[in-house]
A and B are shown apart, each in its own frame.
Chain A
Amino acid sequence: EVQLVENGGGLIQPGGSLRLSCAVSGFSVTSTYMSWVRQAPGKGLEWVSVIYSGGSTYHADSVKGRLTISRDTSKNTVYLQMNSLRVEDTAVYYCARTHDYKYYMDVWGNGTTVTVAS
């Protein structure tokens, strides 16, 4: 069964760090693109980061230099390292399997909530 399970969210102070994980089952993380998408309270969906099947990574301008996507192929898991967190990073973070040339997201995890507050 194809499944994505996110973990690692929580309450963190501004300036702090957190690492989200997305455990993948039913396919290999090296066979497709994997993305992180977030939804802030009362806001819409926002793409955050992507890691290509070959390992290249790209990030939205709003998180560049602070949030970093990576993967561990031995664990079939994708990560989002979140540093220098800001209040505006508060959101539900979803990982999503992303089609590698049509760019749609066909499988989503249930999401993990990150709250940045003092």
Chain B
Amino acid sequence: QSVLTQPPSVSGAPGQRVTISCTGSSSNIGAGFDVHWYQHFPGTTPKLLIYGNTNRPSGVPDRFSGSKSGTSASLAITGLQAEDEADYYCQSYDRSLSGWVFGGGTKLTVL
């Protein structure tokens, strides 16, 4: 059971918009700690996709965007492409655990 809750899977057709939710609590997201998102293709290295709730590292397309409100955050992907099919993880810091926490991961399928 992950501290941050994500849907196990989402799907969408090419060109569509999908969102992935990340729900935490008052000891992590709700405590003001930032949410970060990673894209992970199985067998490869995880890649930082969004940091500080809404910021994209250099090279990440603006089709990817993040938001945060209260104890939750979301990752939105617009103009869905086949190469977006991957696992996506949210991550924050938890003050009760004094450590980093990840969501369980969401598998994105492009139909």
Contacts and interface: CB of A to CB of B under 8 A. Distances in A.
A45 interface: yes
Residue of B40, B45, B101 with most chain A CB atoms under a 10 A cut-off = B45
A98 B36 CA distance: 12
B89 A103 contact: no
B105 A102 contact: no
Interface residues of B, number: 27
Contacts, number: 68
A108 B45 contact: yes
A61 interface: yes
A108 B46 contact: yes
Contact of A103 (B40, B93, B104): B93
19 contacts: A44-B87, A44-B102, A44-B104, A47-B91, A47-B99, A58-B98, A60-B99, A94-B45, A94-B46, A96-B46, A102-B34, A103-B93, A104-B34, A104-B36, A104-B51, A104-B91, A105-B91, A106-B48, A111-B45
Interface of B: 2, 33-34, 36, 38, 40, 45-48, 51-52, 57, 87, 89, 91-93, 97-105
Given A50-B100, A60-B99, A102-B36, 8 more contacts: A37-B100, A44-B2, A45-B38, A60-B97, A102-B52, A104-B48, A105-B91, A106-B48
